[in-house]
Amino acid sequence: MIFYDCKTAPSPRRARLFIAEKGIEVETREVALGEGAHLAPEFRNINPNATVPVLVTDEGAVLTENLGIAAYLEAKFPERPLMGDTADEKGLVLMWNAIMEQQGGAPIADALRNSSPRMEGRAIVGPVNFQQIPELAERGRVRVGLFFDLLENRLSEAPYLAGERFTLPDISALVFVEFARAIRMAVPEEHSATLDWYARVKERPSASL
């Protein structure tokens, strides 16, 4: 396997944490997004969409989305389950992971990519340039506040997002909570359930990656 990573970006970090939680070692190649390496012909020959993460499997498949990478690794290395054992657990894992992406990752990205001077003309990832829309940044920040409320409501009911144990959506949520620092937003101090969850997941060795 070959894993294409970028240490400064949130999306490949999600895959990096999943790999670490599985306790496996893969060959890793750094893609310097800040230098435009993802737009170079050499990388676009691997992933025409010019995004990371990418996992090239032992069998030669090229996986360019976090969920696809997680599903492959879960099937190949099932001994440390991160995507549920029972039918209910599997459904809850995928449901909460989708909620984290749609209600957490997407609005944070909107807020950052539509406001940062460094991302002028690059409001959407990929090979095509898009101009920033300031209104999307403002809406994104409002939605991030709602995301923090959503986390608090769920984590007041269960110790982890999909239930009783740490799984894939907890990885996504951890990355997004820390990604929110890029837009100077953080979990409110009164969200005690979320802060307790955050303290627990930060103790995991993978969280330092």
pLDDT tens digits for range 65-74: 999 999 999 9
Give dist(CA 73, CA 35) in Å, integer: 29
Residue ranges with strand state E in the chain: 2-5, 27-30, 54-56, 62-63
The tokens for 39 are 């737009």
Q: In sequence order, which residues have a C-beta less than 8 Å from that of residue 109 and are 6 or more positions away?
A: 140
DSSP letter at 61 equals: -
The string of pLDDT tens digits covering residues 68-117 is 999 999 999 999 899 999 999 999 999 999 999 999 999 999 999 999 99
Strand order in the sheet with 27-30: 27-30, 2-5, 54-56, 62-63
Tens of pLDDT, residues 156-186: 999 999 999 999 999 999 999 999 999 999 9
pLDDT value at residue 149:
98
Tell me if 49 sits within 8 A of 126, measured CB to CB: yes
What is the arithmetic mean of pLDDT over 188-194?
98
pLDDT at 190: 98
**CB count, 10 Å around CB of 104?**
25
Q: How many CB atoms lie under 10 A from the CB of residue 36? A: 12
DSSP secondary structure letters along 101-142: IIIIIHHHHHHHHTT-GGGTTBSSSSSS-B---HHHHHHHHH
